[in-house]
Amino acid sequence: MMNWQSLGASLAQQLQQPMGEFRTVPIHGGDINQAFRLECDQRKFFVKVNRSELLSMFVAEKAGLDAIRHSGTIRVPEVYLAGCEGDLAYLVMEYIELGGRPDADRFATALAAMHRCFHEQFGFECDNTIGSTPQINTFNADWIQFWRRQRLEFQLELARKNGFDTRLIDAGNRLAETLGKFFESYQPRPSLLHGDLWSGNQGADEQGNPVIFDPACYFGDHEADLAMMELFGHPGQRFFAIYNEHFPIDAGYSERRELYNLYHVLNHANLFGGGYAAQAERIIERLLSF
């Protein structure tokens, strides 16, 4: 059980504000962590809780949310505190009243602006997690090498350890050797990415501003975020039309979309098994035939 009194004292110190009486309300819906709304006077906080060994996951989530917030392009929850209380780790952030899906025009404009925040190299200041799987973000100036080693081959290696069919892994490794063909006339720049932008990590605040949360940030090809938005759900044609006005989408996107989503499908196979391994194999076969 979380020692809420002690967490409240740490939060009061961090915010340099006394915390009066507060109550906690469990929130359902997350995949990885326990979540609570902490209500205190007129303020509300969103608190994630997990085992203390997973503090680095929360520290990395804070780094991602801070990076997006500092870009000043799209609303994310402000993070106040990441720490441990006994054998539990916690992440305390601003509670945002989320209502429905973001407006396509505003979301497309804000996301394109975020993707226009560039870095010199691909990667991020720290490793983080995608779902609960480690995601390696060592900086690399070469996108193909970055995607090959730190995304595709990392998941294939996990699949091997998880005992998946060698046919899948061999085909995946063959694909890894031919990634150059997807980039013959396209050179991505290192854009600030959310990294896990499925529809469950998007919303709108009470003023209708788009909000994104639960990121797995890194600097990478902006198409990787767009592809993930099409994997589980779809933001609609209007979104893409507006986005394209602010950050043109290359003609080869539809081929690379499969390649980028393969990473998430492999990750789902590694996390949940089931039909995801067969789906990954079908994607690999298609990509090999391009």
List all residues 6 or more positions away from 282 whose beta carbon is below 8 Å from its beta carbon.
none
Nearer to ligand ADP among residue 172 and residue 235 (C-beta): 235
| Candidates 87, 103, 142, 196; catalytic one | 196
Per rule CB under 6 A, is residue 35 in the interface with ligand ADP? Answer: yes
Beta-bridged to residue 218, according to DSSP, are 193
Per rule CB under 6 A, is residue 31 in the interface with ligand ADP? Answer: yes
The binder of ligand ADP chosen from 26, 29, 100, 180 (CB under 6 A): 29
Sign of CA dihedral 253, 130, 139, 194: positive
Respond yes or no: is residue 87 known to be catalytic.
no
CB of 41 to ligand ADP, least distance (A): 17
Q: Pick the stretch among 22-30, 101-109, 159-167, 218-226 that binds ligand ADP (CB under 6 A).
A: 22-30
Looking up tokens 């490794």 gives 173
Per DSSP, the three-state class of 36 is strand
The binder of ligand ADP chosen from 4, 22, 80, 95 (CB under 6 A): 95
CB of 28 to ligand ADP, least distance (A): 8
Per rule CB under 6 A, is residue 117 in the interface with ligand ADP? Answer: no
| Interactions with ligand ADP, residue window 147-206 (CB under 6 A) | 200
Smallest CA-to-CA distance from 93 within 70, 59, 119, 52 is with: 59
Distances in Å between the Cα of 24 and the Cα atoms of 5, 31, 84, 216, 262 are 11, 20, 18, 27, 39
Asked if residue 156 lies in contact with residue 175, where contact means CB atoms within 8 angstroms, the answer is no
Beta-bridged to residue 88, according to DSSP, are 51, 85
Per rule CB under 6 A, is residue 135 in the interface with ligand ADP? Answer: no
CB of 151 to ligand ADP, least distance (A): 20
Chain centroid to Cα 47, Å, comes to 18
Nearer to ligand ADP among residue 200 and residue 236 (C-beta): 200
In single-letter form, the type of residue at position 85 comes to E
Q: Pick the stretch among 18-26, 32-40, 233-241, 256-264 that binds ligand ADP (CB under 6 A).
A: 32-40
Beta-bridged to residue 49, according to DSSP, are 34, 90
Asked if residue 131 lies in contact with residue 227, where contact means CB atoms within 8 angstroms, the answer is no
Q: Helix 166-177 crosses helix 153-161 at what angle (to 10 degrees)?
A: 160
Smallest CA-to-CA distance from 30 within 10, 58, 2, 7 is with: 58
Q: Helix 237-246 crosses helix 104-115 at what angle (to 10 degrees)?
A: 40
Nearer to ligand ADP among residue 69 and residue 246 (C-beta): 69
Using CB under 6 A, count the residues that bind ligand ADP: 18
Nearer to ligand ADP among residue 58 and residue 147 (C-beta): 58
Copy the structure tokens of residue 244. 């394209």
The binder of ligand ADP chosen from 82, 96, 108, 284 (CB under 6 A): 96
The binder of ligand ADP chosen from 15, 27, 158, 231 (CB under 6 A): 27
Q: Pick the stretch among 26-34, 152-160, 175-183, 264-272 that binds ligand ADP (CB under 6 A).
A: 26-34
Per rule CB under 6 A, is residue 59 in the interface with ligand ADP? Answer: no
Which residues in this chain contact ligand ADP in the complex, by CB under 6 A? 27, 29-33, 35, 46, 48, 77, 93-96, 98, 200, 213-214
Q: Which residues are catalytic?
A: 196
